[in-house]
């Protein structure tokens, strides 16, 4: 089931963004007919020799074949890459030895076509768990793509080819100063259910032409991911396949000493822009949560530390009762109190305060007497819902804070997920 | 909203069970008109002097006033009780000092009426969080109840008086040999949403006439609770108010030395019967999960230890994707694999096996080739769904096992919870 029939999320951006070119990168797509019919479902991103790559993957103990191989290749190649291959429709997870053989066949074929070592080819697969992946149509697609001429809209095609239940193609792009050059940072992603940290996205791929060596690239990704992709949750369900890869073609050089650390001052604008792009796409994933009618932003402050704040924020974001209350446009802050309470993290009931849409509703462990419900009711009828909780444990600059994004839990989620496979 | 309009769960037992009498106990109910109109919403259980009591409470860091007071009274009274008071409709949680004053007023009034110390009076409150509780109508109800004559069907009235969104009254009863006597074990409970360990129930009250001293009673409850009430989850949301109290009127004496330990051989039949009764009522809570159409029993084996098995079982039970798949009658075991993977517990992907309705579907990390889907499809169309997972980490008598119960996630859950408060 391709879900081509799903209506575009009401929270979707008006249009697909304009993406800046990334020097040296080639994006190719094809309809492999592996599972979906009549649509592109296969992406090949070809990178110039010497490209750097960094990755973050699902923490599931049941990772897909592709996740296993990405981890191996990252180590073996010391963070270098010549291509990324992505297929949509079949996750190639829980497929045993056959699954590994299929992935090896596809990767080996791509390596031969590109005359590159296999461990510089990265694969990502998304779709149904437990279904066998046939390498034959994918290898045929690789042949076809390698001899095809470049498309006019490669980014839109690429973002579309990796979709499963997504109702819109997800991407963001920035240009940023890089020494004497301008460089691009582009990210495409897919994911709308089975979304929970860590990782938050199912699949996301970032590309830049900045000259960033592998170790620095990985450190950057590890820094930015927790505040962006791993701060999104749709249904608390962590996929077997979550993969975030960030590639640098390295064609735009910096002057001066080689980059050794993410603290290098020359990286500052790039870091900020990377965070912007990743946050933009991460929020698009929450906006496309299955059945989503409202985007919920949850801010937690006053916690013991940032990690504790993040866990509390995720407990609120994953609470079915909070999410259904938002769906019902009910400012039911009692359920927010409940969710803080169940997080297992330190929180002071008698100092807890809550704001909804910026309006205080509870303070020092009880409702604010006679607060005006009208502006809050109006806020709840909107598309963007803001919940802010101060848990009253710490104050000042050392108090822990976190922000996460999620969506409401609606009849749409049930409809989509009660008849996905069949 | 009293949810009097909610249809009785299709998983409800055919009728309310016949409960055996408990020597010395008086159950009184009344319509206090605190929040619900036209129905009993208040229960007073009067116990003879010298009764023992044990309790288990929510692990929420945002406990209700009543939970705070129960914990204090258990300690102060050394596990003795003269009465339990339960009000439905208002949880008296997150109500600050006013909430504590209201509870003290009601408890003080009951203590005066019964000529008992306040710390032998236990209160439980369930309903909306953050709403103030008015002690005046509750005190008036206490006066009325104390002068009323006994009802013909006190157990059904009691089980009904404590309901909120429950679609049926929940109770179970057993008689069991106790030295030369027969004693009764009765449990009533309420709860259908905001149900997650620990505790699993919102409110449950057990009564027996066996002579069990407080310390032994508490040890018994601590032993049986994890396998019964704390093995039920509806929506992963832990209430602020979860309370399980077990009382012994102590009128039926054992011969011989005083009971000192739950390992005393004379307790054996009682322990087994207590587990039966508590399991029976716990499963009734899962059967009445908001919107439930199917009761799901999840067995995990082959884990590192029992606690690990329990966490894996709860990860499966709380997965929205597993629960919606069951709602859709889809034997989507890929989602079960996903849920095992996200549990954070040790599991061997390449040895994992899964049975649905007793039929093997996956073994050694992949689907069983060509398994017959028909009996499984038939099982999925039934009301009782059995999922068994061996996670392949340990074998033999030391391997960890656990069983938990939950229900499917349906449009009914969304409908009930998107318009609860208003």
Does residue A259 lie in a domain region?
Answer: yes
pLDDT of residue A411: 92
Torsion B30-B36-B37-B39 (CA) sign: negative
- Quick one: how many helices (H) and strands (E) in chain A? 11, 14
Mean pLDDT score, A16-34:
96
**Domain ends where: B287, B309, B335?**
B287
Mean pLDDT score, B53-71:
94
Both B350 and B257 in a single domain? no
Contact call for residues B353 and A82 (beta carbons, < 8 A): no
Chain B residue numbers touching A330 (CB-CB < 8 A) = 418-422
Shortest CB distance from B194 goes to which of A338, A346, A362?
Answer: A338
- The alpha carbon of B289 is separated from its chain's Cα centroid by a whole number of angstroms, namely 12
| B330 at A interface, C-beta within 8 A | yes
The answer to whether B240 contacts A338, with C-beta atoms less than 8 Å apart, is: yes
- SS3 assignment, position B176: strand
* Alpha carbon of B299: minimum distance to chain A alpha carbons (Å): 19
CA-wise closest residue to A316 among A398, A422, A211, A404? A404
Does residue B41 lie in a domain region?
Answer: yes
Chain A residue numbers touching B345 (CB-CB < 8 A) = 61
Residue of A98, A100, A131, A321 to mutate, testing the B interface (most B Cβ within 10 Å of its Cβ)? A321
Both B134 and B162 in a single domain? yes
Greatest mean pLDDT among A59-68, A349-358, A412-421 lies in A349-358
Alpha carbon distance B41, B35 (integer Å): 8
* Alpha carbon of A221: minimum distance to chain B alpha carbons (Å): 22
Shortest CB distance from B130 goes to which of A93, A318, A333?
Answer: A333
Alpha carbon distance B244, B220 (integer Å): 13
What is the three-state SS of B119-140? HHEEEEEEEECCCCCCHHHHHH
User: In the 8-state DSSP scheme, what is residue A38?
Assistant: S
The answer to whether A238 contacts B58, with C-beta atoms less than 8 Å apart, is: no
Is residue A5 predicted with pLDDT exceeding 80? no
Is residue B421 predicted with pLDDT exceeding 70? no
Alpha carbon distance A316, A201 (integer Å): 19
Alpha carbon distance B183, B171 (integer Å): 17
Beta bridge partners of B299: B388, B403
Pick the range with the lowest mean pLDDT from A215-219, B85-89, B128-132.
B128-132
Alpha carbon distance A25, A158 (integer Å): 12
The answer to whether B328 contacts A417, with C-beta atoms less than 8 Å apart, is: yes
| B365 at A interface, C-beta within 8 A | yes
What is the three-state SS of B332-399? CHHHHHHHHHHCCCCCCHHHCEEEECCEEEEECCEECCCCCHHHHHHHHCCCEEEEEEECCCCCHHHC
The tens digit of pLDDT for each residue in A277-314 reads: 999 999 999 999 888 999 999 999 999 999 999 999 99
Name all contacts of A379-383 with Cβ < 8 Å and 24+ positions apart.
A379/A331, A380/A326, A380/A329, A380/A330, A380/A331, A380/A356, A381/A329, A382/A294, A382/A357, A383/A10, A383/A11, A383/A293, A383/A294, A383/A295
pLDDT of residue B191: 85
* Alpha carbon of A350: minimum distance to chain B alpha carbons (Å): 7
Both A305 and A283 in a single domain? no
The tens digit of pLDDT for each residue in A137-164 reads: 999 999 999 999 888 999 999 999 999 8
Mean pLDDT of chain B, nearest integer: 92
The answer to whether B417 contacts A320, with C-beta atoms less than 8 Å apart, is: yes
Beta-carbon contacts of B369 under 8 Å, excluding residues fewer than 6 positions away, are none
- Quick one: how many helices (H) and strands (E) in chain B? 11, 14
Chain B residue numbers touching A59 (CB-CB < 8 A) = 342, 344
- SS3 assignment, position A49: strand
Q: Can you tell me the ipTM of this complex?
A: 0.85
Alpha carbon distance B128, A394 (integer Å): 28
Residue ranges making up the domain that contains A220: 26-287
Mean pLDDT of chain A, nearest integer: 92
CA distances from A22 to A27, A187, B137, B193, B361 (A): 10, 11, 72, 51, 46
Shortest CB distance from B366 goes to which of A58, A95, A236?
Answer: A95
User: In the 8-state DSSP scheme, what is residue A232?
Assistant: B
The tens digit of pLDDT for each residue in A82-113 reads: 999 999 999 999 998 999 999 999 999 999 99
DSSP string, B182-232: EEEEEEEEE-SSS--SSS-SSEEEEEEEE---HHHHHHHHHHHGGGTGGGB
Both A300 and A179 in a single domain? no
Chain A residue numbers touching B385 (CB-CB < 8 A) = none
Both B77 and B204 in a single domain? yes
The answer to whether A62 contacts B349, with C-beta atoms less than 8 Å apart, is: yes
Both B94 and B232 in a single domain? yes
Chain A residue numbers touching B325 (CB-CB < 8 A) = 417-418, 420-421
- SS3 assignment, position A221: helix
Strands B359-363 and B366-367: antiparallel
The count of domains in chain A is 2
Does residue A123 lie in a domain region?
Answer: yes
Does residue B399 lie in a domain region?
Answer: yes
Contact call for residues B378 and B293 (beta carbons, < 8 A): no
The answer to whether A61 contacts B362, with C-beta atoms less than 8 Å apart, is: no
Does residue A1 lie in a domain region?
Answer: no
Contact call for residues B41 and B161 (beta carbons, < 8 A): yes
Q: Enter the pTM of the model.
A: 0.88
Phi/psi-derived region of residue A201, left when phi > 0, alpha when psi is between -120 and 50, beta in every other case: beta
The answer to whether A332 contacts B413, with C-beta atoms less than 8 Å apart, is: no
pLDDT of residue B42: 97
Both B132 and B271 in a single domain? yes
pLDDT of residue B413: 87
Contact call for residues B177 and B269 (beta carbons, < 8 A): yes
| CATH number, domain containing residue A252 | 3.60.70.12
The tens digit of pLDDT for each residue in A175-212 reads: 999 999 999 999 999 987 665 544 334 899 999 999 99
| B85 at A interface, C-beta within 8 A | no
Chain A residue numbers touching B346 (CB-CB < 8 A) = 61
pLDDT of residue A194: 64
Is residue B109 predicted with pLDDT exceeding 60? yes
Tell me the catalytic residues of A: 201
Burial class of B302 by CB neighbour count within 10 A (0 to 12, 13 to 18, 19+): buried
Confidence class for position A122, pLDDT limits 50, 70, 90? very high
| CATH number, domain containing residue B337 | 3.10.20.340
Both B172 and B41 in a single domain? yes
* Alpha carbon of A280: minimum distance to chain B alpha carbons (Å): 26
CA-wise closest residue to B162 among B28, B271, B332, B56? B28
CB pairs under 8 A between A and B: 224
Phi/psi-derived region of residue B420, left when phi > 0, alpha when psi is between -120 and 50, beta in every other case: alpha
Residues 29-48 of A with CB under 8 A from B: none
Contact call for residues B2 and B415 (beta carbons, < 8 A): no
Shortest CB distance from A337 goes to which of B129, B340, B409?
Answer: B129
**Domain ends where: B261, B287, B313?**
B287
**Domain ends where: A287, A310, A330?**
A287
Chain A residue numbers touching B239 (CB-CB < 8 A) = 338
Out of B201, B208, B297, B410, the active site residue is: B201
Chain A residue numbers touching B393 (CB-CB < 8 A) = none
The answer to whether A61 contacts B340, with C-beta atoms less than 8 Å apart, is: yes
Is residue B2 predicted with pLDDT exceeding 50? no
Does residue A4 lie in a domain region?
Answer: no
Confidence class for position A416, pLDDT limits 50, 70, 90? confident
In chain B, the N- to C-terminal Cα span, in Å, equals 7
Give kind and range of the element (H or E) at residue A157.
Answer: helix A154-161
The answer to whether A337 contacts B236, with C-beta atoms less than 8 Å apart, is: no
Confidence class for position B298, pLDDT limits 50, 70, 90? very high
Contact call for residues B44 and B85 (beta carbons, < 8 A): yes
Both B241 and B368 in a single domain? no
pLDDT of residue A420: 52
Is residue B193 predicted with pLDDT exceeding 80? no
pLDDT of residue A181: 94
Both A132 and A187 in a single domain? yes
- SS3 assignment, position A198: coil
Mean pLDDT score, B273-280:
97
The answer to whether A338 contacts B365, with C-beta atoms less than 8 Å apart, is: no
Q: What angle do CA B377, B383, B389 make, to 5 degrees?
A: 65
Does residue A11 lie in a domain region?
Answer: no
* Alpha carbon of B177: minimum distance to chain A alpha carbons (Å): 40
pLDDT of residue A239: 81
Beta-carbon contacts of A265 under 8 Å, excluding residues fewer than 6 positions away, are none
Residues 209-248 of B with CB under 8 A from A: 235-240
Contact call for residues B311 and A183 (beta carbons, < 8 A): no
Pick the range with the lowest mean pLDDT from A2-6, A181-185, B239-243, B265-269.
A2-6
Alpha carbon distance B279, B288 (integer Å): 14
Both B241 and B311 in a single domain? no
Both A305 and A231 in a single domain? no
Phi/psi-derived region of residue A89, left when phi > 0, alpha when psi is between -120 and 50, beta in every other case: left
Burial class of A7 by CB neighbour count within 10 A (0 to 12, 13 to 18, 19+): exposed
Does residue B12 lie in a domain region?
Answer: no
């Amino acid at each position: 089931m391709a879900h081509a029939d799903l209506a575009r999320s009401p929270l979707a951006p008006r249009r697909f963004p304009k993406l800046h070119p990334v020097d040296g990168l080639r994006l190719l797509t094809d309809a492999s007919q592996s599972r979906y019919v009549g649509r592109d479902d296969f992406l090949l991103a070809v990178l110039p020799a010497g490209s750097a790559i960094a990755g973050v993957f699902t923490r599931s103990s049941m990772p897909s074949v592709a996740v296993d191989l990405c981890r191996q290749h990252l180590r073996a190649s010391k963070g270098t890459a010549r291509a990324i291959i992505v297929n949509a429709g079949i996750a190639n997870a829980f497929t045993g030895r056959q699954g590994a053989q299929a992935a090896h066949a596809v990767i080996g074929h791509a390596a031969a076509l590109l005359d590159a070592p296999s461990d510089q080819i990265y694969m990502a697969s998304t779709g149904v768990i437990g279904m066998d992946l046939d390498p034959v149509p994918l290898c045929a697609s690789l042949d076809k793509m390698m001899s095809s001429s470049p498309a006019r809209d490669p980014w839109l095609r690429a973002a579309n080819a990796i979709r499963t239940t997504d109702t819109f193609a997800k991407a963001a792009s920035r240009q940023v100063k890089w020494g004497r050059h301008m460089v691009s940072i582009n990210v495409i992603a897919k994911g709308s259910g089975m979304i929970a940290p860590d990782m938050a996205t199912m699949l996301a791929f970032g590309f830049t032409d900045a000259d960033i060596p592998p170790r620095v690239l990985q450190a950057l990704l590890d820094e930015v991911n927790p505040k962006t992709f791993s701060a999104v949750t749709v249904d608390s369900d962590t996929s077997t396949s979550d993969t975030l890869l960030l590639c640098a073609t390295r064609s735009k050089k910096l002057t001066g000493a080689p980059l050794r650390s993410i603290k290098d001052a020359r990286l500052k604008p790039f870091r900020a822009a990377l965070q912007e792009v990743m946050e933009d796409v991460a929020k698009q994933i929450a906006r496309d949560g299955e059945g989503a009618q409202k985007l919920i932003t949850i801010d937690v402050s006053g916690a013991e530390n940032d990690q504790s704040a993040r866990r509390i924020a995720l407990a609120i974001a994953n609470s079915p009762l909070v999410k259904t209350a938002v769906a019902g446009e009910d400012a039911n802050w009692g359920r927010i109190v409940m969710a803080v309470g169940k997080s297992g993290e330190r929180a002071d009931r008698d100092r807890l305060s809550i704001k909804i849409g910026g309006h205080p509703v509870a303070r020092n462990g009880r409702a604010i007497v006679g607060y005006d419900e009208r502006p809050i009711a109006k806020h709840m009828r909107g598309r963007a819902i803001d919940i802010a909780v101060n848990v009253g444990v710490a104050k000042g600059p050392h108090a822990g804070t976190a922000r996460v994004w999620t969506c409401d839990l609606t009849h749409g989620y049930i409809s989509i997920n009660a008849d996905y496979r069949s």
